[in-house]
Structure 1
């Protein structure tokens, strides 16, 4: 057969195959095509760069119906093939098998998938809260560093735990794993500790000092007629009427050098002539938590430090926390020293949604509950120690646990005024 004749035959065959192919394609059910289109834009996680095997693929061609390309190829070689009739070499791919391709060769890969909005009134599945881990953390760390620099604070550390449990730590002059005083954030530990003891003993927060008079006496503090009506909840929420705060003027002198001095402050605060506040009115006072330190010892039969270490700190897996030395003297109201990372872990653990005090929130006064502020969206506390003789003028700390699951813990070496500290808290809250 001459070359011209073979060309004419090939042209006629191509026209015939085109018509057959058109019928073949138009015969694919519309539902299958739509199904493929939806699968292709489904919000799947992008695969590793090496392959695309995790991506949805088109339905595999049937073994009984070869693909159009294969039909054309076979016909072309049948008509235009070599004179000796030898078939070309082909690579067989099993039905349904997807051949991997380099990521860069596929159009659109790397672009976030988009999903058409559902029609009005159509079913809507719940959408999980997206967490861009690095973006969330970077924004918080940048806000903290900017605030530190703006206030000329050189040393501090920050820990962030995201809702998925990813932990991040950073520092200026130290790391997030360095143990530091947390000051009044110790009240959170004390409040949680009392709550656990009340669960153990079957008592409630409405228990009065008079109700546990015998245990209090065994712990070294006997309730009197003028104070036996004070409830544990009023102590925790700073509404007991104890005022003034006797610890403030002698924070670094009379309380320095020994543990257990919370008993001294508790005894002094509960003297009849020392109770000058108004019961039921919120007045933040360290001595409320000095008394709760004695309550811990009364209900547990242990020292305050050991009782709360066993119930609150150790269950989280924290091994480096201490309550000793200069700051340990402040015990139940300001004595704990914990790293930023460990405090974040502690807060994340104890403010998990299934904890008893989260399932049934404890009462509060002006948002202050059992050792922490709770505004319904986040839980937090701060700490501060100011002393001119301190190398940096003092130390400060704060933690925030957002009820969506992010936890932040920060410490720094400076005595920071509440208004200045509030700027940082507001910046962080905007990022949660």
Structure 2
């Protein structure tokens, strides 16, 4: 799903103004905590939660029933940050080059309707500039697929203009196949060995075809209120399979932006948005807030779950919030919540 990037200054300002305490009011909760219940105001979102981290301290808030700090949930496209990190680690180890073609690792796979893996680089997959169609537009994220089936669906469509940013989960399905080709292990096994185990992300996993969530967990709901807690993760694969927790996502993004997972050169590559014309790096995208602060992270949408993590460069401040349904009540609230967390408060 395309990441939200457009900051609507007026809705943000009005939301924060409405939350500002008067001189005679009692001490108010942090602005992010006050915004959180607004995610439930429209559209029937059952519950929301956030976990903010600054240095060694954390702050948790929740709104609505049936949600808790320790819950496991599906993280959707946040998976892409994990996959991009593994690919860049392999580049740092000189086991692949970002300028390599897809054809070099997956010969003959990407051909059809004008798509050609011989002219498509790994960099273009990482930055969503390959032009490949998003298979999820056809499946609507509800059809379990093998990686090859997902790619073949995408190849029934002509590509977008080469070099133009066009968000496509097909790119990251292919990167999952490249990881397996280079290492001899699945993308899940490599992410476990390289990221999950070293960081102690005990609540994070790649479930494969397992339809249940680990305990503890709450319920997950489709937009129409249907319970979709049981879900086959193969609807997303390497583009959105991840199951995790609020604390684990905060820890992962703090470590990544803090330079613990990639050498400095490769972290700079990850944050370089020039290929995607400022819109996307590699598994991360920037948002410049009204106060001038830029935060980096990703969002994730999969049936029954919407998640968003954002962090400052250096990883000292991180925020993750989630709702246990497919989208938040009002998309304008996302930039408002980020601004409330990362922009300085004035008295």
TM-score (normalizing by structure 2): 0.71
Match of 1:335 in 2: 241
| Structure 2 unaligned residues grouped into runs of 5+ | 1-26, 211-230, 289-293, 343-347
Match of 2:23 in 1: none
Paired residue for 1:167, among 58, 63, 73?
58
Question: Which of the pair is proportionally richer in helix?
Answer: 1
**Residues 101-140 of structure 1, C-alpha deviation per residue, up to 9 Å, x if partnerless?**
xxxxxxxxxxxxxxxxxxxxxxxxxxxxxxxxxx998332
1:344 has 2:227 as partner: no
- Structure 1 residues 263 and 305, CA, compared in 2 at 3 Å: closer, same or farther? farther
Match of 1:373 in 2: 285
CA distance in 2 between counterparts of 1:136 and 1:233 reads 46
Question: Equivalences for 1:407-422 in 2 at 5 Å?
Answer: 407-416=318-327, 420-422=330-332
Paired residue for 1:238, among 116, 128, 137?
128
Match of 1:363 in 2: 272
1:249 has 2:155 as partner: no
CA distance in 1 between counterparts of 2:49 and 2:68 reads 6
Match of 2:47 in 1: 155
Match of 2:30 in 1: 138
Q: CA deviation at 1:380?
A: 2.0
Q: CA deviation at 1:174?
A: 1.7
Q: CA deviation at 1:345?
A: 0.9
1:363 match: secondary structure:
coil
Q: Which has the larger radius of gyration?
A: 1
Match of 2:178 in 1: 295
Match of 1:426 in 2: 336
Q: CA deviation at 1:359?
A: 4.5
Q: CA deviation at 1:150?
A: 5.7
Query: What is the RMSD computed on CA atoms of the aligned residues?
Result: 2.7
CA distance in 2 between counterparts of 1:311 and 1:421 reads 34
- Structure 1 residues 359 and 223, CA, compared in 2 at 3 Å: closer, same or farther? closer
Match of 1:383 in 2: 300
1:160–1:167 Cα contact (<8 Å) kept: yes
Residue-pair matches, total: 276
CA distance in 1 between counterparts of 2:335 and 2:203 reads 27
Q: CA deviation at 1:286?
A: 1.1
CA distance in 2 between counterparts of 1:422 and 1:288 reads 28
CA distance in 1 between counterparts of 2:258 and 2:73 reads 24
CA distance in 2 between counterparts of 1:139 and 1:206 reads 44
**Residues 196-219 of structure 1, C-alpha deviation per residue, up to 9 Å, x if partnerless?**
122123433222123x33xx36xx
Match of 1:266 in 2: 151
- Structure 1 residues 239 and 421, CA, compared in 2 at 3 Å: closer, same or farther? same
Q: CA deviation at 1:427?
A: 3.0
- Structure 1 residues 148 and 380, CA, compared in 2 at 3 Å: closer, same or farther? farther
- Structure 1 residues 323 and 383, CA, compared in 2 at 3 Å: closer, same or farther? same
2:136 match: secondary structure:
coil
CA distance in 1 between counterparts of 2:269 and 2:129 reads 21
**Residues 238-279 of structure 1, C-alpha deviation per residue, up to 9 Å, x if partnerless?**
110112x222332455316xxxx223213443x4x5343211
CA distance in 1 between counterparts of 2:255 and 2:332 reads 25
Match of 2:195 in 1: 312
1:305–1:331 Cα contact (<8 Å) kept: no
Of 197-206 and 352-361, the range deviating more from structure 2:
352-361
2:298 match: secondary structure:
strand
CA distance in 1 between counterparts of 2:35 and 2:180 reads 41
1:406 has 2:317 as partner: yes
Q: CA deviation at 1:406?
A: 1.1
Q: CA deviation at 1:312?
A: 2.1
Q: CA deviation at 1:421?
A: 2.6
Q: CA deviation at 1:194?
A: 1.0
Match of 1:323 in 2: 206
**Residues 57-115 of structure 1, C-alpha deviation per residue, up to 9 Å, x if partnerless?**
xxxxxxxxxxxxxxxxxxxxxxxxxxxxxxxxxxxxxxxxxxxxxxxxxxxxxxxxxxx
TM-score (normalizing by structure 1): 0.58
